[in-house]
Amino acid sequence: MFITFEGIEGTGKSTQITLLKKYLEEKGYEVLVTLEPGGSRIGKELRKILLNMESTDLTGESELFLYLADRAQHVSQMIKPAIDDGKIVISDRFADSTIVYQGYGRGLEPKLLRELNDVAVAGCWPDLTLLLDIEAAEGLRRATTRNIRDNKMMEEGRFEAESLEFHSRVREGYLTWAALNHERIKEVDASRDIEGVFEQIREIVEASL
Ligand code: TMP
């Protein structure tokens, strides 16, 4: 089974992924947790380029193809082998991030992005996607505080440095894309406390196991 987590910055995806991994392992499942960009060896190199604040000269089209390259590598080297081994794979971001950030956020055509993703994922679309939803201003505040605390603003802050308007467009894009794909993408209210968010996730995952 393949589960992905999506949402704007600062929704608490990684905290919830840790809780879900533990929950599933306690039920006896083998779980692989991974992420994009950067889930493979080559992807780690691509992540540096994609998220570094110094990548100011990266064009929108190059950004798109680097994310797709990261994904193709990630699917073939990490995700597919783990699924074939019977593991549950949980990825922090996947193909929907490209449709929403490069599409609704940057203005590329979502339908074209869906088709390009088809090439990158090679048949490996998620079985379930959890969309953690929070107001853009709150998410951005949490993400920026975290980057400053972890001293990662320069290395990882390229998207956090985008305007609130960009993040609001991305949030709205996620909600639109989720409505168009409601059988796979389930919305979670991420403004609640950690336990309150996990309770919603647990119920959704239980229903799809
Ligand atoms: P994160 O590891 O903090 O989630 O950062 C990844 C950033 O990359 C995040 O701002 C969203 C962005 N992103 C895209 O724009 N397109 C993509 O396809 C992916 C996977 C991420």
pLDDT of residue 156: 87
- Whether ligand 1 lies within 6 angstroms of the CB of 166 is answered as no
* pLDDT reading at 160 higher than 90: no
Cα 171 from Cα 189, distance rounded (Å): 13
Pocket test for ligand 1, best of 67, 93, 166 (most atoms within 8 A of CB): 93
CA 86 to ligand 1 centroid distance, Å: 27
The protein residue with its alpha carbon nearest to ligand 1, atom 19, reads: 97
* pLDDT reading at 152 higher than 90: no
Closest CA to 60 of 130, 204, 154, 162: 162
* pLDDT reading at 127 higher than 90: yes
Cα 206 from Cα 104, distance rounded (Å): 31
CA 28 to ligand 1 centroid distance, Å: 31
State the pLDDT confidence band at 157, using cuts at 50, 70 and 90: confident
- Whether ligand 1 lies within 6 angstroms of the CB of 98 is answered as yes
Q: pTM of the prediction?
A: 0.97
* pLDDT reading at 158 higher than 90: no
pLDDT of residue 187: 98
* Contact in structure between 35 and 92 (CB atoms under 8 Å): yes
Cα 39 from Cα 47, distance rounded (Å): 9
**Tens-digit pLDDT profile for residues 164-177:** 999 999 999 999 99
- Whether ligand 1 lies within 6 angstroms of the CB of 159 is answered as yes
Closest CA to 171 of 148, 190, 149, 197: 190
Kindly provide the residue ranges of all beta strands, DSSP E only, lying in 22-180, ordered along the sequence.
Answer: 31-35, 88-92, 128-133
CA distances from 26 to 3, 22, 31, 112 (A): 17, 6, 10, 40
pLDDT of residue 161: 86
Residue percentage of the chain with pLDDT more than 90? 93
* pLDDT reading at 193 higher than 90: yes
Cα 57 from Cα 73, distance rounded (Å): 24
CATH of domain 2-208: 3.40.50.300
- Kindly report which listed range (22-31, 40-49, 129-138, 144-153) carries the lowest average pLDDT score: 144-153
- Whether ligand 1 lies within 6 angstroms of the CB of 5 is answered as no
**Tens-digit pLDDT profile for residues 36-94:** 999 999 999 999 999 999 999 999 999 999 999 999 999 999 999 999 999 999 999 99
* pLDDT reading at 3 higher than 90: yes
What stretch of H or E contains 3? Answer: strand 2-6
